[in-house]
Homo-oligomer: A and B are copies of this chain.
Amino acid sequence: MQTHINYLNEINLNNPILIEGLPGVGHIGKLAAEHLVDELEAEKTAEIFSPYLPPQVIVQDDGIARLVRIEIYTAELENNKNDVILVVGDHQSVENTGHFEITEKILDIATENNVQTIYTIGGLATGEMSDTPEIYGAVNEHYPKQKLEEKGVKFEQGKPKGGIIGASGLLLGLGNQKEIPATCLMGETSGYIVDPASAQKVLRILSEMLEIEIDTKKLEERAEEMEEVVSKLKQRYQEEQQQPQPTGDDLRYIG
């Protein structure tokens, strides 16, 4: 099997914007993009299969197993100047060269459908929990960053330090070679947990940029649930810290 696109429907969109949200740090991209699939009632129109994705099938709720894949959804937005292509999926490539190959397939879809702009969504791991995560951005040479800056997106050299890894980064770099404007929006996140709060914040900026209204209520609810889980974990940790320490004698018996 070669990496290939399996079209389910003809795609016929008006000045489409492509938004990528594959699994990554804090699953920010995955949460945001899958939320958009739901809220925009997008339709699945293609799938990408690749031998660089894990050699697995996933068992769905009806007991039907399906190959690990990347999914392409499309939504025609009435009264909006742009339609939307959404890229979501189970995994990214597990091999170095596979990242390039899969990103090129996504770009094939972009060029075939005359995509105007690419938005990729990712997380920026800080190692710390924060109630007020910042949104960092990066652009390629064809995307003017000014409007993003006006909306509070920060641009800083070496953010993230190790570069933007995987499809979210390569779509900017390889997209640049094809002269497609592309930007990556990264929500700060601890890096330890799935982070719907940060995903929600990225999504708010994205909805302003695309001039579409997106109800983020479900993400908000998931963020609140997650916050509860985290605050319980914190509390338990603090309680453990306050417990009396074992004395030397105790220590002996622990062996």
B-binding residues in A (CB < 8 A): 1, 51-52, 54-68, 93-97, 99-101, 103-104, 137-141, 145, 155-160, 162-166, 169-170, 172-174, 176, 184, 245-253, 255
Contact = CB atoms under 8 A, between A and B. Distances in A.
Contact of A169 (B63, B65, B172, B252): B65
B64 A141 contact: yes
A171 B51 CA distance: 14
Contacts of A62: 155, 157
Given A65-B138, A97-B51, A56 B255 contact: no
A162 B91 CA distance: 12
What is the oligomeric copy number?
Answer: 4
A255 B246 contact: yes
17 contacts: A1-B104, A51-B100, A52-B97, A54-B163, A55-B100, A55-B166, A56-B169, A57-B169, A59-B158, A59-B160, A63-B156, A63-B157, A66-B140, A245-B253, A247-B252, A248-B248, A251-B252
Contacts of A250: 255
